[in-house]
Homo-oligomer: A and B are copies of this chain.
Amino acid sequence: MRMELDLGGEQPLYQQIRDQVVLAIAAGTLREGDNLPPIRELAAEFGIHFHTVNKAYDLLRQEGFIRLSRKSGAVVHTSRSEADTEAWQHKLRLVLAEAVAKGIARAQVDAAYRAVLAEFEHRSSEDAPPQSGRHA
Protein backbone atom coordinates (compact mmCIF):
# COMPACT_ATOMS: atom_id res chain seq x y z
CA MET A 1 0.00 0.00 0.00
CA ARG A 2 1.54 3.18 -1.28
CA MET A 3 0.93 6.14 0.98
CA GLU A 4 1.92 9.71 0.36
CA LEU A 5 1.81 12.20 3.17
CA ASP A 6 2.35 15.88 2.72
CA LEU A 7 4.22 16.74 5.90
CA GLY A 8 3.97 20.44 6.48
CA GLY A 9 0.83 20.50 4.38
CA GLU A 10 -2.32 22.19 5.48
CA GLN A 11 -4.27 19.11 6.28
CA PRO A 12 -3.62 17.43 9.62
CA LEU A 13 -1.48 14.37 9.21
CA TYR A 14 -3.99 12.05 10.85
CA GLN A 15 -6.59 13.22 8.37
CA GLN A 16 -4.27 12.59 5.46
CA ILE A 17 -3.55 9.07 6.69
CA ARG A 18 -7.26 8.43 7.13
CA ASP A 19 -7.97 9.68 3.60
CA GLN A 20 -5.22 7.57 2.05
CA VAL A 21 -6.54 4.45 3.74
CA VAL A 22 -10.09 5.14 2.59
CA LEU A 23 -8.87 5.72 -0.96
CA ALA A 24 -6.84 2.51 -0.82
CA ILE A 25 -9.87 0.52 0.31
CA ALA A 26 -12.01 2.07 -2.41
CA ALA A 27 -9.32 1.36 -4.99
CA GLY A 28 -9.06 -2.23 -3.85
CA THR A 29 -5.44 -1.92 -2.80
CA LEU A 30 -6.61 -2.73 0.69
CA ARG A 31 -9.25 -5.42 0.89
CA GLU A 32 -11.52 -6.74 3.58
CA GLY A 33 -9.35 -8.62 6.07
CA ASP A 34 -6.09 -7.04 4.98
CA ASN A 35 -3.79 -5.67 7.61
CA LEU A 36 -2.83 -2.03 7.73
CA PRO A 37 0.81 -1.36 8.53
CA PRO A 38 1.57 -1.52 12.28
CA ILE A 39 1.21 1.90 13.87
CA ARG A 40 4.83 2.22 14.91
CA GLU A 41 6.09 1.02 11.56
CA LEU A 42 4.05 3.55 9.64
CA ALA A 43 5.09 6.27 12.07
CA ALA A 44 8.75 5.33 11.62
CA GLU A 45 8.42 5.28 7.84
CA PHE A 46 7.28 8.88 7.75
CA GLY A 47 9.18 10.10 10.76
CA ILE A 48 6.03 11.14 12.55
CA HIS A 49 4.81 10.48 16.04
CA PHE A 50 3.01 7.19 16.57
CA HIS A 51 0.28 9.12 18.35
CA THR A 52 -0.57 10.70 15.03
CA VAL A 53 -0.95 7.36 13.30
CA ASN A 54 -2.86 6.07 16.27
CA LYS A 55 -5.30 8.94 15.97
CA ALA A 56 -5.82 8.20 12.29
CA TYR A 57 -6.46 4.51 12.93
CA ASP A 58 -8.83 5.30 15.75
CA LEU A 59 -10.74 7.62 13.46
CA LEU A 60 -10.94 4.90 10.82
CA ARG A 61 -12.26 2.54 13.47
CA GLN A 62 -14.88 5.04 14.57
CA GLU A 63 -15.95 5.51 10.99
CA GLY A 64 -16.35 1.80 10.48
CA PHE A 65 -13.51 1.12 8.08
CA ILE A 66 -11.21 -0.98 10.23
CA ARG A 67 -11.03 -3.05 13.37
CA LEU A 68 -8.32 -2.72 15.95
CA SER A 69 -7.13 -5.48 18.21
CA ARG A 70 -3.94 -6.15 20.10
CA LYS A 71 -3.63 -9.52 18.44
CA SER A 72 -4.01 -8.70 14.80
CA GLY A 73 -3.45 -4.96 14.81
CA ALA A 74 -5.47 -2.92 12.35
CA VAL A 75 -7.54 -4.93 9.92
CA VAL A 76 -9.83 -3.70 7.18
CA HIS A 77 -13.33 -4.49 8.29
CA THR A 78 -15.97 -2.21 6.93
CA SER A 79 -19.33 -1.78 8.49
CA ARG A 80 -21.88 0.95 8.34
CA SER A 81 -24.72 2.24 10.41
CA GLU A 82 -27.64 4.29 9.21
CA ALA A 83 -25.99 7.31 10.78
CA ASP A 84 -22.91 6.67 8.65
CA THR A 85 -24.93 6.64 5.49
CA GLU A 86 -26.72 9.82 6.47
CA ALA A 87 -23.45 11.54 7.28
CA TRP A 88 -22.11 10.41 3.94
CA GLN A 89 -25.09 11.79 2.08
CA HIS A 90 -24.60 15.07 3.82
CA LYS A 91 -21.00 15.19 2.61
CA LEU A 92 -22.07 14.37 -0.93
CA ARG A 93 -24.71 17.06 -0.76
CA LEU A 94 -22.14 19.65 0.25
CA VAL A 95 -19.67 18.66 -2.46
CA LEU A 96 -22.34 18.81 -5.12
CA ALA A 97 -23.64 22.08 -3.72
CA GLU A 98 -20.21 23.57 -4.33
CA ALA A 99 -20.27 22.49 -7.93
CA VAL A 100 -23.77 23.78 -8.53
CA ALA A 101 -23.10 27.04 -6.70
CA LYS A 102 -20.03 27.60 -8.83
CA GLY A 103 -22.05 26.93 -11.92
CA ILE A 104 -20.10 23.91 -13.07
CA ALA A 105 -22.06 22.40 -15.94
CA ARG A 106 -24.15 19.36 -15.17
CA ALA A 107 -22.36 17.45 -17.90
CA GLN A 108 -19.01 18.13 -16.31
CA VAL A 109 -20.27 17.09 -12.89
CA ASP A 110 -21.66 13.89 -14.37
CA ALA A 111 -18.38 13.22 -16.13
CA ALA A 112 -16.37 13.68 -12.95
CA TYR A 113 -18.80 11.45 -11.08
CA ARG A 114 -18.55 8.66 -13.62
CA ALA A 115 -14.79 8.97 -13.92
CA VAL A 116 -14.26 8.57 -10.20
CA LEU A 117 -16.61 5.61 -9.93
CA ALA A 118 -14.98 3.97 -12.91
CA GLU A 119 -11.67 4.30 -11.12
CA PHE A 120 -13.11 2.35 -8.21
CA GLU A 121 -15.13 -0.01 -10.39
CA HIS A 122 -13.00 -3.16 -10.23
CA ARG A 123 -14.09 -3.48 -6.69
CA SER A 124 -17.67 -4.37 -7.43
CA SER A 125 -16.49 -6.59 -10.25
CA GLU A 126 -14.28 -8.50 -7.85
CA ASP A 127 -17.00 -8.96 -5.30
CA ALA A 128 -19.74 -9.55 -7.79
CA PRO A 129 -20.12 -12.83 -9.64
CA PRO A 130 -18.32 -12.67 -12.96
CA GLN A 131 -21.23 -12.19 -15.25
CA SER A 132 -21.01 -11.68 -18.94
CA GLY A 133 -22.19 -8.78 -21.08
CA ARG A 134 -20.46 -6.08 -19.12
CA HIS A 135 -19.54 -3.90 -22.04
CA ALA A 136 -18.75 -0.22 -21.59
Residues on A facing B (Cβ under 8 Å):
7-10, 12-13, 19, 22-23, 25-27, 62, 64-65, 67-72, 75, 77-78, 80-85, 88-89, 91-104, 106, 108-109, 112-113, 116-117, 119-120, 123-124, 127
Contacts and interface: CB of A to CB of B under 8 A. Distances in A.
Given A13-B71, A69-B9, A112-B89, A120 B104 contact: no
A19 B98 CA distance: 9
A120 B100 contact: yes
A128 to B, nearest CB: 10
Contacts of A98: 22, 26, 88, 91
Nearest to A73: B8
Q: How many copies does the complex hold?
A: 4
A92 B116 contact: yes
A25 B72 CA distance: 30
A67 B102 contact: no
Contacts of A68: 10
Contacts of A123: 100
Q: Across the A-B interface, give the 8 residue pairs with the lowest CB-CB distance, nearest first.
A: A26-B97, A25-B101, A26-B100, A100-B120, A26-B101, A8-B72, A80-B102, A96-B116
